[in-house]
Structure 1
Amino acid sequence: MAGSFVTLFQWRLNSVLVQENEILLAVKDQILSLDSKLDEVGSFVGHPVFWTLHAREMAESFLKLSEPKLTKKGKDQMMSLIRQLDEVTRVAGDVERIRACCQTWVSELRVMLHEAKDYVDNFIIKVYGQTGQDQKESIAEFGSELENINTRVSQIMNRRPQPGASPVLEEIQQFLRSRFSFDEETALASCVLNYINLPYDLKLSLLFCCAFPGYYGKTKGALVRVLVAAGLIQEKPGELMEDKAQENIEKLINQGMLEEDEYDWDCFRVPIPYYDLSLSVMNAEDFFISTANSDSIILPTARHVPIHDAENTITNMNSLLHSLFVSAKDGLSKASSDCLETVLYNAKRVQVLDLENTQLKSLPDEVGKLVNLRYLGVRHSKINELPESISNLQNLQTLDISWSGYEFELSNGVLNLAQLRHLKVFRPMNDGEVRVPRGISRLRNLQTLEGIYAGGGIAKELGNMTQLRSLKVRCLSDDHADELYASVTKLTGLRNLSLTIERNRIAYDSSDSDDNGYSVFPCLETFSPPPLLQRLKLCGRLTEMPVWLGSMENLTKLYLCYSHLSENPTTILQFLPNLKYLPMGGCLQREAYGNRVLQSWRIP
């Protein structure tokens, strides 16, 4: 809806002001003045007529896209919904005149705001490479352009249509609900109405759900990080954007627009017809999905481009690109890899870059010039090191290099990423651990730190990272276990903790091994878990259940992998009121139940 993309532009302005407050202090008044003018625009486009016209447009788009596979009953429902929306609009005057006037005006407003957002993005790119007088001149020029944008917004408001009287929006929605309820006869139209009633940020969130590739499962955590990076979550002092993004995902799940995986609650999918509804509006929202079997040319206006099965289909794209998702089943061809480098050279505005299973051996230096980049994912690659230019990405929030090359290491350059919030690493070698540089605690915004080795003094340093919410440590051993336990106890905001013990190489290489070679867990009785912990994974030869487990009242998921328990764990687990998920892959129960490998316990 019109008011919604106005709101998104306001969020972008406020985000820039928060992040670059010192640089933009001289133009703060111009930003606040423009924000106030946009409030006026948003109030006007909240008129019920805009909602009914938007609803009709969406229903028509869905009918056009889905007509070949709709039943006669489904087509009849959609036609009936369109007629009812016309009837509501007719109360305000001539339907065709109102539709033409409002669509033209909204289109003009949208184009102007897109241009304004592009100008803001270009300014950020330009000012990052400047200092002294050059920077002052650019800021002054930016202030003048903000005043020009404000004037253009006023001119568009002066030309706003006059839709006339109309019932209030709640009455319109109640009228439509009375005619389309969730029964067999009108279920499809009801789904369409539910989709139309979604707030704009939730609607865009659902589009990203459809666009986000995932040969290895679409996870809620990855989606949360993408939504934050894409600017769909308003930044507010004292609040974590990730919490709001998670809340939005839960809202979509509660409305049946996302479905959790039956076996892994962290994964999800978009059910039909909501997937089809999202596809029907993708072009209008500047999305474009490309697949290996698609002959479509990527539209020059596309700002969010997912390319699935991209072995040979990466083509040059426009400089408007904001999000690029590339996934491949068997890696990219040489031609596609070369083209990707060209795309990154041109895509200076890109905020989300997600490359999955591309098997890239290196990232081009051009990545370091993407100063607006907030999300960089290169899962399932052959990358052993990141380019030195990575330290230039001062706005980067997420760096996900899980399943990298065998010899992958993090350089000191990562310590320059002051805005980094999520660091996820893993290499398919030894115990999967990745060594992080000393000084990692300097990253004061870091919430997620996963796949790391905590030896060499890192365990002690972790105790200073009290802002962490997720920590996954691999190759844990006796020489630093006590130091790690002491540090984790200080992380009072931690929600997710995973500890994987080092493997005993002799046992691991033995064909008689029944525990995947994991060593015995260092004594856990001295450990005191953070009070808010919701997920705990203990991977290794755990012989006894720690007594403190019974007091973890917030725990919802407990993973016990390759343990050697000598007692029934339910004697302790029965005291966990919120425990819902208890996988025990590869666990060996030796006494009360005989020598047998357990996959899970039934939760009492």
Structure 2
Amino acid sequence: MNPNNNNYHQDIHQSDTSNKTLNTNDNWIEKIWAWADEFELKHSEIPRNKESLLALKKLEILEPEHDEQHSKDVYRIAYLPDELTNLTNLVDITISGICSSHLLPNIGKLTNLTKLSISHSKLVALPESIGQLSYLTELFIDQSELEALPDSIGQLHNLTKMFIGRCQIQCLPDSIGQLTKLTVLDIVHCEIEELPDSIGQLINLAKLFISYCPLKHLPDSIGQLKNLNDLDLINCDLKDLPSSIGQLTNLNKLYINRCRIKELPASVGQLSSLTELFITHCELEELPDSIGQLLSLTHLDLLHLELTELPDSFGHLINLAELNIINCKLKVLPDSIGQLVNLTKLNFNHSKLEVLPDSIGQLISLTELFISHGKFDKLPDSVGQLTNLEKLYINHCSLKELPEIIGQLKSLTEFFISYCKLGKLPNSIGELNNLVKLELVYCNLRNLPDSFTQLNSLRCINLTGNPLDRLSPRVKCYLRSIDTVYGWDKQSYS
């Protein structure tokens, strides 16, 4: 105990009115108070008043935030006295910073407990009596040395949320399948390599998150999770998905990140409710033709993959609104991409595209188009049909010219081109009446067409990295009138 802890002593002084009429059966209360004094727990954490203590519903002992001395080897309390299990009105225990390998052996006596949260501890096991917490709905165990869950965990029939993180657990007990009210299961930074088949019995599970675990495969029984709507698999050793995944007909979101998956099963096309699919930093080489059956899909991210082509069926994703294909190995796009009539955002950053198909002009709902590191040297004339396009970004491409038809993009407000080989701009650039921001960076431009002066809405322009040694007086005068100009000195070019 720190004698200089003024806050603690002030707190204790304020509680000097604590009951002095403890009877011989109240020794357990004195032990709790002695424990609280030993670790300088505040009155607000452990009341030094018998009546208040017995009525306590929430036991919350937290480590101070932003404590400079706090580290994984520094704990606020050394142990929990088992006498705490006499506080039978407790409904919530939230504690962080326990230097103890075991939890309250008789925790099962706290039959009114609905939430149990233990973080930053040296726990190696949970007591079997935990299964007696029949009203428990939330269980959170984070940053411990926990090696296993007791079989009695399956007796928590009212449990709806369970989080197990940063521990040594290698497997889940088969009894976990008895948690039929569980809606959220989150397992993070554990040593789990496989899930028990009984996982499929979690008939009300809506969200399953498994991240930073050496999980090698999912059991076939995963397909029995009929109410699952969100499945996240992050940084696992998964090489494939079971075909039974197609039975998850209520799945809305599938997120796969930093796994070793090389292909998706054809059954993925049966995910009729899927609206969001994210696959990033995997070894995926191709998509199955069945991907086109995902008619509810609105958002698709394919990032940092070995993907070399898209199937023609891709065009069947008629409800797709956002498509991000970043740092993949695609060289061409299927013509069917033009069938994505509801697409509003298309991102091909860090691509290897050698050509854009003419069908891209059929994307009548497109408002944002981002392309970088492509190998194409021109845009198709059909790009002028993108009359709803508001943002166009083209960076680090081999682009040598813009088509005259670019002037038909009447809705364009932001037009960024950088590190391309343009050399000149078409006269039609002046027809972009709604353009507010224009970036022409390192595009080898020596002049700008006089039509440039017709950009009446332009407020910001970046001309960095261009010679601009042949600007007409008219264009120079216009540039001086723009609010913000980068890469061209208004004063130097008088």
TM-score (norm 2): 0.46
Judging by fraction of residues, say which structure has more strand: 2
Judging by fraction of residues, say which structure has more helix: 1
Query: Which protein is bigger by CA-based radius of gyration?
Result: 2
Bigger relative contact order, structure 1 or 2, given CA contacts below 8 A and separation 6+?
Answer: 1
